[in-house]
């Protein structure tokens, strides 16, 4: 099972949307405090819709608490400062993919100790970053694709309706 880690997320709607994506992708969500909202906040639940109750979510006091409780975890860190593109790495089925807070990303003091595991999403020119929810979805679904979408529905079905043209 893949793991998404949000380091100090600030916007409840983003975290709610990411929670919904994690439920759809059968991924765990890890939240590193401080959070910019309360977990029971109405906006968080609204963005996560009725999926929040199905989410496997864990919170941590800080990054050190996260590292202590997940020893030996393979962590990829999404940052605009990375040398590698997110498609350049092979994601293990149980790896952790970490994203920083909306206003500042992952702190550089964390990144420098994990430089080889930093990944980036390519963007044009002076664009600072993508929306956090979009960034999570892009990288998470690449990791799922590389692992053959384990346990996921790979096929849909059209209802054979007769259309009047």
pLDDT in tens, 109-131: 999 999 999 999 999 988 888 99
pLDDT for the residue numbered 53: 83
CA angle 105/109/115 to nearest 5° reads 80
Residue 51 confidence class, pLDDT cut points 50, 70, 90:
confident
C-alpha–C-alpha distance, residues 82 and 99, integer Å: 12
Q: Provide the pLDDT for residue 148.
A: 93
pLDDT value for 58: 96
* Number of helical H runs and strand E runs in the chain: 5, 7
pTM: 0.91
Measured in degrees and rounded to the nearest 5, phi and psi for residue 115 equal -55, -40
CATH 3.10.580.10 fits 3-146, yes or no: no
Q: Where are the domains of the chain?
A: 3-146
Q: Which helix (H) or strand (E) holds 24?
A: helix 12-25
Q: Is 121 annotated as a binding residue?
A: yes
Indicate the average pLDDT of the chain.
91
Burial class (CB in 10 A: 0-12, 13-18, 19+), 43: middle
Please say if the pLDDT value at position 63 is more than 60: yes
> Percent of the chain, pLDDT > 70?
92
Dump pLDDT digits (tens) for 28-43.
Answer: 999 999 998 877 756 6
Higher pLDDT, 41 or 145: 145
70 vs 155, residue with greater confidence: 70
**Mean pLDDT across 65-74:** 97
Q: What pLDDT score does 13 carry?
A: 87
Contact call for residues 152 and 26 (beta carbons, < 8 A) = yes
């Amino acid at each position: 099972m893949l793991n998404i880690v949000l380091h100090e997320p600030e916007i409840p709607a983003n975290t709610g949307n990411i929670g919904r994506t994690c439920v759809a992708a059968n991924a765990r969500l890890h939240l590193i405090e401080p959070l910019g909202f309360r977990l029971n906040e109405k906006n968080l639940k609204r963005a996560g819709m009725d999926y929040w109750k199905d989410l496997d979510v864990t919170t941590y006091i800080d990054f050190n608490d996260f590292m202590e409780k997940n020893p030996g975890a393979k962590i990829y860190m999404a940052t605009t400062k990375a040398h590698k593109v997110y498609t350049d790495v092979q994601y293990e089925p149980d790896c952790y993919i970490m994203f920083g807070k909306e206003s500042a990303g992952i702190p550089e003091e964390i990144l420098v100790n994990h430089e080889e595991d930093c990944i980036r999403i390519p963007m044009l020119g002076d664009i600072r970053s993508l929306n956090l929810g979009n960034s999570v979805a892009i990288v998470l679904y690449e990791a799922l694709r590389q692992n053959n979408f384990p346990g996921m529905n790979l096929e849909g079905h059209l209802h054979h309706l007769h259309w009047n043209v």
